[in-house]
C-alpha cells in the first residue's frame, strides 16, 4: 500500500525508539506531523516528523504548538512538539489520518523556526 505522505500530514507512526524512564524523548507509537518537503516525502525512504502529544503544557515554549479538532486525535486538544524532530523509516508510518489546517500550518512553521532558531523570513520567497 502506498501512503500519500505530504508536508503537514498528520500520521500515526510506529516509534522505533524504545526510550527509557530517564528521558523526555517520546516513547511508544504516536501521532506526528510531517515537516519534510514533498519532494523528500515522494522519493526518500525516510520521513522527518515532529511528534504530537495529548499532554498540553509548557505553551510558554514557542516550539510547543497547540492544535485541536483533528481526526485520529479524537478531536481533543493536543500539542505538536517541534522540539522533537525525528527521522523515521517510511515503513514506520502506519497511517495518514489528517492534514493540518492552514492556520495551524502557520503556527507549525513558527514552532519549527523557534526550535531551530531560524530567521523570521525563512519561509518567504
Element (H, E) at 88: strand 78-89
pLDDT greater at residue 17 or residue 12: 12
Q: pLDDT grade, residue 18 (50/70/90)?
A: low
- Note the pTM of the prediction, 2 decimals: 0.84
Q: What is the pLDDT of residues 43-98, one digit of tens each?
A: 999 999 999 988 888 888 888 999 988 877 777 889 999 998 999 999 999 999 99
**Res 1: pLDDT:** 43
Cβ atoms of residues 2 and 102 within 8 Å: no
Amino acid at each position: 500500500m502506498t501512503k500519500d505522505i505530504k508536508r503537514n500530514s498528520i500520521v500515526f507512526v510506529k516509534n522505533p525508539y524504545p526510550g527509557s524512564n530517564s528521558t523526555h524523548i517520546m516513547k511508544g507509537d504516536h501521532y506526528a506531523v510531517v515537516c519534510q518537503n514533498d519532494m523528500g516525502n515522494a522519493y526518500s525512504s525516510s520521513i522527518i516528523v515532529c511528534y504530537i502529544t495529548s499532554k498540553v503544557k509548557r505553551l510558554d515554549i514557542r516550539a510547543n504548538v497547540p492544535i485541536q479538532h483533528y481526526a485520529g486525535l479524537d478531536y481533543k486538544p493536543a500539542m505538536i512538539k517541534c522540539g522533537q524532530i525525528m527521522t523515521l523509516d517510511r515503513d514506520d508510518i502506519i497511517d495518514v489520518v489528517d492534514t493540518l489546517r492552514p492556520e495551524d500550518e502557520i503556527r507549525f512553521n513558527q514552532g519549527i523556526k523557534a526550535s531551530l532558531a531560524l530567521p523570521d523570513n525563512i519561509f518567504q520567497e
